[in-house]
Amino acid sequence: MRSADRNTGANPSPDNTLKKWEKPHLPKPVTAVFSAVVTFSVWILIWQIAYANIGISFIFPSPYQVVVELLRLLPQKKFIISVTGSMLRVILGYLIGIAASVAASFASHFFLPLKIFFSPFVKIVRATPVASFILICVLWMPSEAVPVFIAFLMVFPVVYENTLTGLSETPVELKEVASVYGFSRRQKLTLLYIPSVAPYFASACTTSLGLAWKAGISAEVLCVTRDSIGYYIYISKQYFETASLFAWTVAIIVLSVLLELAIKKSVGALQRAVRRKYAGK
């Protein structure tokens, strides 16, 4: 409501005259869409200018060439198959990573030796370049498994550490209530731990999906995994098909945005479901 200060002034102005700061504004979504379109156009323009100055399309394609290439790829069977394959592998690794890290963080919270045990693992995974892991993994597992494992590896430290933080922030006052009144394990889980962990878990899920997606595709490139986005990126690079390389990259970005939207929706739905189930509303 923009009319809040209308009632408070000592000199209320008649209803039909708007004060200076009450000039009608465009509704929010319209301005948002407008500014997004402008920003997007400016960047495309910069791209086009760069292209015009470089002038070698097999090193740096124009936006138009990339769009044409993308439209050529879209209906192809290999596009559908590779996009599906890449998504399935990354999502599989992601889900395994979430399950494992949640279990590990709860276990670590209640059993210190486990926390000490996991600590170097988490630190090393965080500090090591993904490429090192990918190249090591190629030696040990089939090329289809590497992206799954790498996605897992990206998710684990993020969700593990966030869940642990959430657990450590469980309010002491309520823990004392639970202990005084002899709450069951189930009550402690649903009344103490899940509410404290939920916000951390939700943000970790969103952050780590992006990480897993990018790292998973890097793994596909380096392992030349069949039927994958990474595979076609690798091929495009081998044959200097730069427009195709760009087109695949655009596809990756679009899919990343879609995945993020999907995960935000799912996490929101999950939180609401948990609240409904355990809070009786």
Partner 1 sequence: MPESENRSVILDSVCKSFGEKIVLKNFSLKIPYGSKTVIKGPSGCGKTTLLRILAGLIFPDHGTVTGTQGKKTAVLFQEDRLFPTLTALENVSAVVPGNSKKEVAAKILTELGLGDPENLNSYPAQLSGGMKRRCAIARALAYDADIVLLDEALKGLDAENAENCARVIHSYTADKTVVSVTHLDTSLEKDYQKVVMPMNTF
Q: Which parts of this chain interact with partner 1 (CB under 8 A)? A: 173-174, 176-177, 179-183, 187, 191, 195, 275, 278-281
Residue 270 Cβ, how far from partner 1 at the closest point, in Å?
A: 15
- Tokens 């769009």 correspond to what residue? 67
Sign of the torsion angle spanned by Cα atoms 101, 106, 107, 111 = positive
CB of 179: closest distance to partner 1 in angstroms? 7
CB of 110 to partner 1, least distance (A): 19
Contact 100, 281 (CB under 8 A): no
Distances (CA, A) of 275 to 3, 195, 270: 35, 9, 9
d(CA 120, CA 107): 16
Cα angle: 251, vertex 97, 270; to 5 degrees: 80
Q: Which is nearer to partner 1, 60 or 183 (CB)?
A: 183
Which is nearer to partner 1, 39 or 179 (by Cβ)?
179
Q: What number of CA atoms fall less than 13 Å from residue 144's CA on the CB side?
A: 6
92 vs 274 by CB, closer to partner 1 = 274
Instruction: Give Dmax over CA atoms of the chain in angstroms.
Output: 79
Gap between the Cα atoms of 47 and 51, Å rounded: 6
Q: How far is the CB of 263 from partner 1 (least distance, A)?
A: 23
Q: 161: closest CA among 101, 95, 211?
A: 101
Between 15 and 173, name the residue whose CB sits nearer to partner 1: 173
What is the Cα–Cα distance from 150 to 137, expressed in whole angstroms?
Answer: 9
Q: Which is nearer to partner 1, 137 or 194 (CB)?
A: 194
Least Å distance, CB 177 to partner 1, is: 5
Closer by beta carbon to partner 1, 261 or else 273: 273
Amino acid present at 167: L
Least Å from the CB of residue 167 to partner 1? 16
Number of residues written out for the chain:
281
Q: Where are the alpha helices (DSSP H) in 60-192?
A: 63-73, 77-110, 112-127, 130-140, 145-168, 172-180, 185-188
Q: How far is the CB of 191 from partner 1 (least distance, A)?
A: 5
**Per-residue CA distances from 195 to 30, 115, 208, 266 (Å):** 36, 22, 21, 17
Is residue 97 a contact partner of residue 158, using CB atoms and an 8 Å limit?
Answer: no
For the CB of residue 196, give the shortest distance to partner 1 in the complex, in Å.
10
